[in-house]
Structure 1
Amino acid sequence: MHRILFGGFSAICLTSCGGNGGGDGSVLPASITASGQTQASALIEDPVANKELATPLRPLAKSPFKRRYRVFSANGGQYTLDLDFSNRRYVFAPSDGGNSNVLQPINSPVVGMIASGEFSDDPMQPGTFVLQRSKVNSVVNLARFRLLGDAIVGTFPLARTSLEGTVGISYPFLGVTNLVSAQSAMDGTYNRFTYGTPFQNVAYSLAHQISISGGGTQLRVCRSDTGFYRLEVCPTQLLKTYAIVATERPGIWRLTTADTTEQIDFSVARVGGQNVYLAAGRLPNLDLQFRIGLPETTEWTAATMYGAFTASSTSGNEPALQVGDAWTRTSVHADSVRQSAVYADGNWTVEQRPLVTLANDAPIGARGLQSGNSTLYGARGAGLWAMVALPRPGTSEPYQNGVIGLWGTGEGVAVDPRNDSYTVFASNGTKQRLRLDFDMHQYEMVDESGHSVRGPFAADPVQKNVYVFATDRVAPSSAARFQVTIDAVIGAFPFLESNGSGRYALQPFVAARNLVIDATEFHLVGSLPRFNMFSVARGAGIADSTTSTFDLYYSGANTPTLGVCSTDPLKPMCTPDRNYSVTTGSEAGDWVATNTANASDNFHFSVARIGGKNVYLRAAVDSSNRAVFEVGLTTWAPFQWPANSFPLTVSTLGGYGSGGTSVNAINTVFNQPDGSSLPFSITLEPISTYPTARPHASGIRIGWDTASPADQYDATVEPSALLMVVGRSGNPATQGYLQLVMGGRQLSDPP
């Protein structure tokens, strides 16, 4: 394969990539648009938010940025839940505490942060996200959530009461973003459901209809422990009235009796354009309660709903649910409900139950879910469905019935799992941001100075999972393309050339959305801390490439360390030639390595999680004004070389192609701008000679151009993350060459 490497060459591909076309990379710069739009107030500020968008944000549920929810949980607690869709991380933390004599947010038994970690898509249920946990005490991790526009519904394992220090049941929760702050806006009739846990931990559940009137100044409730009455037919002795007063905290309101002996705090949130009554906290008798009131409605249209329930006791009411915690998918019809549920203990059920109209004195919008002689009581409103069990009249222990379920509609709220804002590491030495919106098929690429280019993208008509950027920076025949996996993007985009020409040319990039922000995650359990790093450097008339190995690890309270080994891939295992201390950089996911013997030797880098593996990434301009692009894969053993196809490979030659790997070869066919094809094959050393020749470089194999054996390359692979090929330095025909192939599961358009 003949190539001109002025300014260097690099290529990137995805396993199962492809397409045809090409470009010459010589087009003069197109106009660029400065962006200055800030994010909506409902979002937590993103470090690069002011650089990213010059157009209004999509609806919150489909925005890929950070957001904070106020969570009301069935365990009787209130929390904040931060979701960072760019890095797929979450933080569950206690909210501010309150007066113990009022139903207010409880003080969590855990000081500060309750839980944090990554979240990921549920591959079996698009639109559902799984909250990863470091310790799962059950067979199935039920912690998950669904987006509901301006709210979320989910389940998470939390302490049963503020007096326990243990994490137990996975409780349903509702997270909201908009609390009603105008008192007059709260008026309405609500069907309110309560789940309570007394000091003795014997759960109970109740159902009441309430109304707020008088411009938000009065609340009436029909207080029955065993029945569910409409207010207008409520027995006089069960009807209770409260005054509503404002508190010092916006969005928090207080119910109070005339003698102030009973005070209860609550909120009203806007969900789907409707009011939802919410409360969670501790009563004076130490009971913990969760209350949710849905706006009264008679509409029970067919819907698919997702959510969770906890059924902690069957004493006294024999509820129509298996005891335990479960995540469910529920199909609601006019007269029946079909529910598939997975329980924490690993069991699962699929059941269909009749949906019945309740007695004449029940709320008009309420329904009963029947199983044998048992009935669960529920109502819908604001895109939600809540359900509880009521104790049977005359039972000896009327409160031991604790069952609550909470679901949200699935229509129109599922998020394409590829929608996100990705950190781009480009081979021209720049870090940028790529926003992909697969619902609208729009993209935006934002450089480090805040300049952006945006436009549509379209699916390749031939290659599945391959997409074409629409851009006027290069000729249409150049066909800037990309492919996306579950947690990364790889492709070629017209970035500014690194040789100072001022022109745009197609250049490879890797983009990731899950950057490691905790040094303890540098060294994954079960993997070695050693990386094989392939690097290319390009500038005016300069092209070079290197292969090296380095260790990156964190041990206890010590400062994270990066130790660079020899750049000679044939040298036996070495101790690091240079050691660098590692500290956090200026933004999340950015790390700074500083030579312990020479502080002026320092650089920034990131570690991305791709396919469950750590991948080292760096894009920068060095002291010689060269664009540096580096990718490092963790070493692993036993070494295996996969046989696979890749439908997309891209390069700075301006074309792109496809190909595949076999046990001893990498075969690529590049599509040129003029429509011609250029085959390129690398023959790999036999595995029988590996790793004896290079015992230190676990995973590296030598290869040579099949048509020109004097042109040599190094190759390495981590099957679930990437495959890389780099040209040997010292040979103008190979130096500066880098090829990447993405492993792992590819994401296609939803059916």
Structure 2
Amino acid sequence: MRSWSVFAGMAMLVGGLAGCGGGGGGGGGFALPIVATTPMTLTVNVNGAAATAGTDGLYAAKPGDTIEVVPNQNADWTSASGTADAVTLRNADISPTRWKAQIVNTTTAASNFTVSAKASANAALTKSAVFRIAGGDARNAQYRVYATNGSKQTLALDFDTMSYTMTDDAGTAASDTFAVDSTVANGYLFKSSRITSTVNTARFRLADNTVVGAFPFAQAGSTTAFAVQPFIASKALVTTQAELAGTYNRLGINLTATTRDSNIRQVAVTAGGAQVLMCDEVAITAVANCPASSVRTYNVTPASAPTDWRITNVANPADTGVFSIARIGGENVYLSAGAAAIGAPGEVVFRVGVRQQDAWPSSTAIASDTNGTWGTLNLDASSYATGFIRPDGSNGTLGLTVSQIGAPAALNIRVAPLGGSSGAYFLVQSGKIAAVVGARGPQGGYMQFGLID
């Protein structure tokens, strides 16, 4: 109901004046504004169902829920999180006739969230709905990504809304949703408009502050062509230099828009994390057995991010790079991606290394590779076997015999020859990561890795 109001006792007079234009010709009258006085009321829905406030006056909601507040008259809206910046919105749809948004709690603690309506025709008429938002999923986080297209990116996962954002270091973001992959434990599938293949092999698994999987990244040297490629991402990267120390069996690839190659080395991070040693021999050689004339020595210094560490060759300062150490299942894993300082124009690199150890247990990993496949990677003392599905929907398998390399002291890097001139694969594993790289030659630039079950 609307009413004319200047003074409560003059309602009839005001109505009469308004009706006759003020009682005189020639425009001598006056028009009074119509001011809404109907009390503001709100209807609240959560996930499309009518919601009722509890005895404490709060509506219950959880992260990922879609909240809708409908006023009985046009309204202007404000909203506020009880804990600063704890509650944020996704897919907001706000108009004078409705306030609607998906709720995200960026913390693991519960927080109040208030939606307030103010009548557009009368600012004195207000009404609020207060929600108690449950704490967010502890897995919600930003993970630093090291990808086999040679890029470093940031992956933000929200398990409450089942959504992600992958952002490269230039700030270009790709956002969409992900779904549960019922075929593997702790597995998920990325949805992306970049994926046009018959089978979606852009998947990931989550374990121990780590995400390992594949995503449709831009291909090396391009910003418009995409291919599903493997990545490792961590939210547990070492920030204390002394914790970098260790001897790592490192596999890697170098790539440009038109070429691919492999890199296999043992790397020793010594001197309390202040120095890196590599053996520059044609044969893959343990650092401890490397001729002194072939040992490359690098100084380690903090890079721009607290999780990044720069290495600089003492003998050639142009030979430099950046690496990080992730903690996965209590183990150190060496990671690096980015532009090659002394490589070919446009060349980028990817590296993954696991600690040198004597053990080579039987293990099974769910893995992806640079051919865009997704499947299993099985290792034991004498064999390597993989079964996979390709993007076109076809299946493949491969089984090879493996043997240890290195002399006089063995490295825990295994080799699996393909026979004849077809090349070979080199393999490493730890308690959490298994990785395979193609030998230089026909298999150069190929890589497969995954999380071990």
Asked whether 1:545 is paired with 2:256, we answer no
Asked if 1:675 corresponds to 2:393, the answer is yes
Aligned pairs, number: 336
Q: TM-score, normalised by structure 2?
A: 0.68
Deviation of 1:148 (Å): 4.2
**1:590 aligned residue (288, 308, 312):** 308
Residue number in structure 2 paired with 1:58: 104
1:430 equivalent in structure 2: 151
Amino acid of the residue matched to residue 491 of structure 1? G
Q: Residue 362 of structure 2: which of 639, 643, 657 is its match?
A: 643
Q: Please tell me the residue identity of whatever aligns with 1:563.
A: L
Task: Please list the CA deviations of residues 497-549 of structure 1 after superposition, one character each: whole Å capped at 9, or x if unmatched.
Answer: 104373011111110111111102112xxxxx211111101113211002111
Map of 1:725 onto structure 2: 436
Write out per-residue CA displacement over residues 26-63 of structure 1, whole angstroms, 9 at most, x where no aligned residue: xxxxxxxxxxxxx999369xxxxxxxx9989822424x
Distance in structure 2 (CA, Å) of the matches to 1:678 and 1:470 = 24
Cα deviation, residue 569, structure 1: 4.6
User: Which residue, out of 199, 206, 220, partners 1:498?
Assistant: 220
Distance 1:57 1:450 in 2: 24
SS of aligned partner of 1:654: coil
- Give the CA deviation at 1:695: 4.1
Distance of 2:82 and 2:407 partners within structure 1:
54
Alignment match of 2:425 (pick from 699, 713, 724) = 713
Give the counterpart of 2:412 among 686, 699, 703. 699
Alignment-derived partner of residue 515 in structure 1: 237
Please show how residues 78-477 of structure 1 align to structure 2 within 5 Å: 147-149=109-111, 412-413=134-135, 415-475=136-196, 477=198
Tell me, in whole angstroms, the C-alpha distance in 1 between the residues paired with 2:209 and 2:282. 32
Could you report, residue by residue, the CA deviation over 1:476-503 in whole angstroms, capped at 9, with x for unpaired residues? 5341111111121111111111043730
Alignment map for 1:580-659 (pairs within 5 Å):
580-622=298-340, 623-624=343-344, 625-636=346-357, 639-646=358-365, 648-659=366-377
The one-letter code sitting in structure 2 at the alignment partner of 1:726 is V
1:18-97 equivalent positions in 2, closer than 5 A: 42=84, 58-62=104-108
Distance in 2 (alpha carbons) for counterparts of 1:449 and 1:641: 40
Rounded to whole Å, the distance in 2 between the matches of 1:615 and 1:742 is 12
Give the AA of the match of 1:743: I
Query: What is residue 532 of structure 1 aligned with on the other side?
Result: 249
Instruction: Give the Cα separation in 1 of the matches to 2:223 and 2:105.
Output: 40
CA shift at 1:726, angstroms? Answer: 1.3
Contact 1:530 1:634 (C-alpha < 8 Å) held by counterparts: yes
How many Å apart are 1:452 and its aligned residue? 0.9
What is the alpha-carbon distance in structure 1 between the residues aligned to residue 170 and residue 361 of structure 2?
40
What stretches of structure 2 of length at least 5 have no aligned partner?
1-80, 93-101, 113-129
Determine the C-alpha separation between the residues in 2 that align with 1:567 and 1:609.
29
Please list every run of 5 or more consecutive structure 1 residues that lacks an aligned counterpart in the other structure: 1-38, 45-52, 63-146, 151-272, 275-382, 384-410, 524-528, 745-751
Q: State how far apart, in whole Å, the 2-side matches of 1:510 and 1:697 are.
A: 27
Distance 1:43 1:698 in 2: 50
Alpha-carbon distance change, 476 to 735 in structure 1, aligned in 2, over 3 angstroms: closer
2:445 to 716, 733, 736: 736
Alpha-carbon distance in 2 for matches of 1:58, 1:439: 7
Q: Which amino acid aligns with 2:449?
A: L
Conserved 8 A contact 2:199-2:392? no
Whether 1:488 and 2:197 are equivalent positions in the alignment is no
Q: Matches of 2:190 and 2:327 in 1, distance apart?
A: 25
1:432 aligned counterpart, secondary structure: strand
Asked if the contact 1:611/1:743 (under 8 Å) is kept, the reply is: no
- Report the Cα distance in structure 1 between the residues aligned to 2:328 and 2:361, rounded to whole angstroms: 17
> Structure 1's 634 and 659: CA in aligned 2 closer, same or farther, altered over 3 A?
closer
Cα RMSD (Å):
3.0
TM-score where L is the length of structure 1: 0.42
Q: Residues 664 and 437 of structure 1: is their aligned pair in 2 closer, same or farther, counting only changes over 3 Å?
A: same
Equivalent position of 1:665 in the other structure: 383
TM-superposition CA deviations, 1:653-705 (whole Å, max 9, x none): 233222422331121122123322121223212xxxx56x5344531112123
Could you say if the C-alpha distance between residues 708 and 456 of structure 1 is closer, same or farther in structure 2, counting changes exceeding 3 Å?
farther
- Percent of aligned pairs with the same residue? 30
**Superposed CA offset, 1:444-482 (max 9, x none):** 111111111111111123223221111001215341111
Taking a change above 3 Å as real, the CA distance of residues 570 and 60 of structure 1, as seen in their structure-2 partners, is closer
> Given that residues 104 and 160 in structure 2 are in contact (C-alpha distance below 8 angstroms), is that contact kept between their aligned partners in structure 1?
no
CA distance in 2, matches of 1:591, 1:54: 38
700 and 148 in structure 1: CA distance in 2 versus 1, 3 angstrom threshold:
same
How far apart, CA to CA, are the structure 2 residues paired with 1:450 and 1:722?
29
Please report how far the alpha carbon of residue 431 of structure 1 lies from its aligned counterpart in structure 2 after TM superposition: 0.7
Closer/same/farther in 2, CA of residues 426 and 653 from structure 1, 3 Å limit: same
Any conservation in 2 of the 1:429–1:619 contact (CA below 8 Å)? yes
**Alpha-carbon separation, structure 2, partners of 1:509 and 1:727:** 17
Please state whether the residue corresponding to 2:242 is helix, strand or coil.
helix
Equivalent residues of 1:495, 1:506 under 8 A apart: yes
SS of equivalent residue, structure 2 residue 423: strand
For the residues of structure 2 that align with 1:738 and 1:695, how far apart are their CA atoms? 28
Deviations 1:119-141 (A, max 9, x none): xxxxxxxxxxxxxxxxxxxxxxx
**Displacement after TM superposition at 1:711 (Å):** 2.2
Counterparts of 1:577 and 1:737, CA distance in 2: 27
Amino acid at match of 2:315: A
> Kindly tell me: are residues 594 and 42 of structure 1, through their superposed partners in 2, closer, same or farther at Cα, counting changes over 3 Å?
farther
Q: Is the 8 A contact 1:547 1:568 kept in 2?
A: no
Structure 2 distance, partners of 1:542, 1:496, is 15
Quick check: which one's strand share is greater? Answer: 2
The amino acid across from 2:438 in the alignment is: G
Task: Indicate if the aligned counterparts of 1:547 and 1:569 stay in contact, CA closer than 8 A.
Answer: no
Q: Read off the aligned partner of 2:372 and give its amino acid letter.
A: G
Tell me which stretches of 4 or more aligned residues in structure 1 moved more than 6 Å: 53-57
- Structure scoring higher RCO (CA < 8 A, sep ≥ 6) equals 1
